[in-house]
Every structure is written in C-alpha cells, then in structure tokens.
Amino acid sequence: MFRKVLIANRGEIAVRLVRGLRELNIASVAVYSDADRASLAVRMADEAAHLGPAPSSESYLRIDKIIDAALRHGAEAIHPGYGFLSENAEFAEACTDAGLVFIGPPAEAIKKMGSKTAARQIAIAAGAPVVPGTESAIRSIEQARATAHSLGYPVLLKASAGGGGKGMRRVDREQDLESAIRDASSEAAHAFHNDEVYLEKLVIEPRHIEIQVLGDHHGHLIHLGERECSIQRRHQKVIEECPSPLMGIDPGLRDRMGAAAVKVARAAGYANAGTIEFLVDRDRNFYFLEMNTRLQVEHPVTELVTGLDLVSWQLKIAAGAHLTIEQSDVRWTGSAIECRIYAEDPENNFLPFPGKITRLVEPSGPGIRLDSGVYEGWTVPFDYDPLLAKLVAWAPDRNAAISRLKRAISEYKVGGIRVNLAFFTDILNDEAFARGELSTAFLDGFFVRRKPAPDPAPEMEAVAAIVATLSRQKPAAPVVNPTSKWKWEQ
Ligand code: MV4
C-alpha cells in the first residue's frame, strides 16, 4: 500500500480524502492556493504544499505544479478528487510519466469517455440501450432533417464534446432545426473548441439515475447500485438518494441497469471507481447518457447503503489490489439522502454568498453524516464553487431518512453567510418529494406550487429592524444551545 498520497483538490472532498487516507495509515499531502492557506483540509492533512495564486488556472489546474509538489513531498500517488483535473487524461498520463500513480481509471478510459459521441458508440457496441438518435456527429442539414423526421419531434441537439447541458437545444419543429444546429454548434465551439453536435430523441421529463461501478486492474468489475439524482437546478444536483424510489416500484430495474453499466465500463477498459449516467423515461426504459470517470460528489449515499468505503477501495485498487467483493456480496440496506449545502442565497436566485463564517453549529446524532470542508472563523473564498458541505442521512427507510435530514437541518446553524438550508427543508416537506415523484423537471413544479412566505406586517418589519440593530451592538455571542428558540443570524 502507498505510504504517502497527495490530494490534488480542495474543500470538503479534500477533507474526505484526508480521512480515508488516515484510516489506512497513509500520510496525506494537501495542496492549497493563496485563498486556501487556512483551509480545513490543510489543517487536517499531515503535510501541505502551496500551489500559487487563488485562480484555479494558477493553482488547482496546474499539472506541473501538482506533480512537482508530489515529488518534493515524496508522495507515491495522487488522488484528484472531483472537478479540477479529475477527468483530465493528460494529467493522468503526466502522473504516470513522473512515476506517480494516478488514483483513478486508465488515461485511455478517461479519453474515450470524454467524447460523448465516442461514449455513445461504446455503449451501443456493448449492447447497452442509448436514446434513439444519430450514431455520431451530424454531417449535413439534410442528414439531420432526415434523422429528426424518422425520430419524430421533439428532438434534442447535443454537443459531441459536451456534458452539463452546454450546447444543448430542444427542437420542436422541422423549420427550427437549421437555426438550432447553428446555435448549438457555435455554443459548443465556444465552450469546448469543438463544434460537432449530434441528435437524440427528446425524453420528456426523464429521471436521472446513475450506477456506481468499481473495478480492479485484474478484470473484475461490479456495480454498487444506483443514485437517484433527478433533483437538479441548472444541471447542478441538489439532492441525491439511494435507493431510487423507482426501485420500490420495479425491483428488477437495479439489476438491469447495473448489468448495462458493467457492460459499458468493461467495454471502456475501465478500472477504479466510475459512474454510468442514465436517463429513465416514464415507462422505466433506461438509456445510457454518459460516463463520469471520477469519484462523484454524491458517493456517500452509496457508501451508507452498501456499507462499502469507496475511497478505501479506490486506494487499494490503485495500489494493485484485487477487488475481493463479488456482485452477489453487494447488499443495499436502508435509505440515504444527501443535501448539498452551499454558500448561496436561495431568496436571491441562488446567488453565491461567500464570506466569513462567524458562527457554525454542525448537526450530528443517529444516522447523520456530515462531509464538511469548513469551520467557524473560516472565510469561504469567492474563487471556487461555494459548496460548504454535504449533509447525508441514513435510516432504515426513506421516510425515516427524510425525518432525520429535517432534524439535522434544524440543528445546523451557519452565521455570517447565507446558505441554502431552508430551501432543503421546503423540498423535504414537499408532498411530491415524499411520494418519490421525481424527474429533472421536479424543481420547476416545486417553485410553482411552493407557497411564498407571507409578507411580514409593516410594524413587524420595524420591530425586526430595531432588534437587528440592537443585536449588532451585543458585545458577545450567546452561549450555544441548539435546543433553544434563539434565532440565529443565518
Ligand atoms: C437528455 C434529456 C432528454 N432527452 N437527452 C442534460 C445534461 C446532459 N448530460 C444530458 N441532459 C439531458 N439529456 C435526451 N435525449 C434531458 C437532459 C436533461 C437533464 C439530464 C439529467 C439531469 C438533469 C437534466 C436537466 C435537463 C435536461
């Protein structure tokens, strides 16, 4: 096993990785930019290396600086976390070239899955279902018109190099097709330096369900079941859960999706942890969408329900160990739900709200896991994604997990910045959510049916203003009592 590993990331995932390394008695090296000198990950890691200025282009994305830091500190391997360089094949290759182990899949598998059309072709060849559409990029307007006609409108244009919804255009009528191709193509050219687009039949109000896979470097590959990630806002996941409520309706679905995911991963020559994304339509047909060749933000829900430690397995597999779990050993127990806690203002169009955390009370207790990257007194920098923490509840069933999450949110106090905690309370109280009626359109409906908070009476606003002024003049913070009715400044 490795003796020392460098963590090429920041925030909550860097903290998660320090913890995973320490449990295996492996020394950790954190890296940091100017904005992260005092980060929780830096404080918790055994060693730390400075990368450069705050912008990620000058720090967390600098392959040369990260490799240099690993070599200087005597690390044998690098864990990339998620985002940043985690799906960069050039980085994976640079690690290998420097004699370091990249903790992730082979660079070749990252490359293959980086192109959405190449990934689609791999899935087709592997016999996994894909959404009906073009085999590869559109070559002419005539070809597009003919394909769209045979698929039937509405269709969806997607960027070959895309992902995350950029370069995507819904087309409802043939007369809109040509201009939509031009728009999607130029958006793709700007975003990905690749103007290729392809066509798919549009799946109406699909669910987004993904399958976790895990494979070793000796050809053994299994799946760890699904995560339901349908609740998204602007292609950002908001809540993730395992199992998907759909599995209660169709108990064979997990096996079918899992088998398809394993076929795709095998065809890509995959090893380590990865995720196969699917769309699921109203009739519970599923279609391969893309593969994420990294550890994902939402991996804790899989860990809680399967009892398997994904980071620990990533490290063992990267060190050459055999994955000693058979598919039939994997069991799914209870229900886990994760909320992504952001420094943002849900009352102001989810505007990022970084700043100093002046007060922090973190929830705990039965069934609660908090993967956090912050502490009281830390200033959340505005240079990065403002994810503070992931609050995850496990319970024997979904309703109990929802209750636990609501209880944990009621204990969670963050002062000095705005956070999206109240938004989660509203979703967890939503009746469609309780019934498990989820789709990628869930939040659109939620915002419409959510009753707006009643306007406070003018005299109450005057009282609130006076109280706020007086409380700002208070010399000291009160003693923290989470059960009191004290209203925090959050
Ligand atoms: C789709 C789709 C409907 N039909 N493809 C969005 C991001 C990209 N990775 C794929 N996406 C979609 N592809 C077909 N043929 C709907 C989406 C989509 C979506 C997918 C997953 C999660 C959230 C989404 C939000 C809007 C649209």
Residue minimizing CA distance to atom 2 of ligand 1: 203
Inter-residue contact 187 to 210 (CB < 8 Å): no
Mutational test site, ligand 1, from 236, 280, 440, 443, max ligand atoms within 8 Å of CB: 440
Ligand 1 lined by 163 (C-beta under 6 Å): yes
**In this predicted structure, what is the pLDDT of residue 490?**
37
The residue extents of the domains of the chain are: 4-103, 132-201, 207-449
Ligand 1 lined by 235 (C-beta under 6 Å): yes
Q: How far apart are CA 157 and CA 431, in angstroms?
A: 34
Report how far ligand 1's centroid is from the alpha carbon of 97 (Å): 37
Ligand 1 lined by 240 (C-beta under 6 Å): no
What contacts 24+ positions apart, CB below 8 Å, involve 184-192? 184/157, 184/158, 184/159, 187/159, 188/159, 188/160, 188/161, 188/162, 191/159, 191/162, 191/166, 191/167, 192/159, 192/161, 192/162, 192/166, 192/167
Q: How far apart are CA 246 and CA 257, in angstroms?
A: 12
Residue minimizing CA distance to atom 11 of ligand 1: 165
**In this predicted structure, what is the pLDDT of residue 488?**
40
Structure tokens at 242: 């395992």
Inter-residue contact 171 to 156 (CB < 8 Å): yes
Ligand 1 lined by 188 (C-beta under 6 Å): no
Residue minimizing CA distance to atom 15 of ligand 1: 202
Report how far ligand 1's centroid is from the alpha carbon of 205 (Å): 9
Ligand 1 lined by 208 (C-beta under 6 Å): yes
Atom of ligand 1 nearest to the CA of 202: 4
Ligand 1 lined by 292 (C-beta under 6 Å): no
Residues with catalytic roles: 294
Residue minimizing CA distance to atom 23 of ligand 1: 440
Ligand 1 lined by 231 (C-beta under 6 Å): no
Atom of ligand 1 nearest to the CA of 287: 15
Instruction: For CA atoms 271, 337, 379, 345, give the dihedral sign.
Output: positive
Q: How far apart are CA 160 and CA 141, in angstroms?
A: 16
Mutational test site, ligand 1, from 244, 289, 438, max ligand atoms within 8 Å of CB: 289
Mutational test site, ligand 1, from 235, 238, 282, 291, max ligand atoms within 8 Å of CB: 235
Q: How far apart are CA 189 and CA 164, in angstroms?
A: 15
Q: Give the architecture (CATH level 2) of 4-103.
A: 3-Layer(aba) Sandwich (3.40)
- Tens-digit pLDDT string for the chain (490 aa): 999 999 999 999 999 999 999 999 999 999 999 999 999 999 999 999 999 999 999 999 999 999 999 999 999 999 999 999 999 999 999 999 999 999 999 999 999 999 999 999 999 999 999 999 998 899 999 999 999 999 999 999 999 988 777 889 999 999 999 999 999 999 999 999 999 999 999 999 999 999 999 999 999 999 999 999 999 999 999 999 999 999 999 999 999 999 999 999 999 999 999 999 999 999 999 999 999 999 999 999 999 999 999 999 999 999 999 999 999 999 999 999 999 999 999 999 999 999 999 999 999 999 999 999 999 999 999 999 999 999 999 999 999 999 999 999 999 999 999 999 999 999 999 999 999 999 999 999 999 998 765 555 665 566 555 555 555 444 344 444 444 444 443 3
Inter-CA distances, 215 with 20, 120, 223, Å: 19, 21, 9
Report how far ligand 1's centroid is from the alpha carbon of 69 (Å): 38
Strand 368-372 vs strand 351-352: parallel, antiparallel, or unpaired?
A: unpaired
Ligand 1 lined by 440 (C-beta under 6 Å): yes
Q: How far apart are CA 315 and CA 322, in angstroms?
A: 11
Report how far ligand 1's centroid is from the alpha carbon of 109 (Å): 23
Report how far ligand 1's centroid is from the alpha carbon of 130 (Å): 13
Ligand 1 lined by 156 (C-beta under 6 Å): yes
Rg from Cα positions in the chain: 23
Inter-residue contact 30 to 47 (CB < 8 Å): yes
Atom of ligand 1 nearest to the CA of 203: 4
CATH 3.30.470.20 fits 207-449, yes or no: yes
Residue minimizing CA distance to atom 26 of ligand 1: 440
Q: How far apart are CA 41 and CA 366, in angstroms?
A: 25
Q: How far apart are CA 102 and CA 86, in angstroms?
A: 9
Report how far ligand 1's centroid is from the alpha carbon of 24 (Å): 38
Report how far ligand 1's centroid is from the alpha carbon of 290 (Å): 10
Ligand 1 lined by 232 (C-beta under 6 Å): yes
Atom of ligand 1 nearest to the CA of 290: 9
Residue minimizing CA distance to atom 20 of ligand 1: 208
Residue minimizing CA distance to atom 25 of ligand 1: 440
The closest of 245, 160, 172, 234 to 197, measured between CA atoms, is: 160
Atom of ligand 1 nearest to the CA of 201: 15
* CATH code that applies to domain 132-201: 3.30.1490.20
Ligand 1 lined by 203 (C-beta under 6 Å): yes
Report how far ligand 1's centroid is from the alpha carbon of 442 (Å): 13
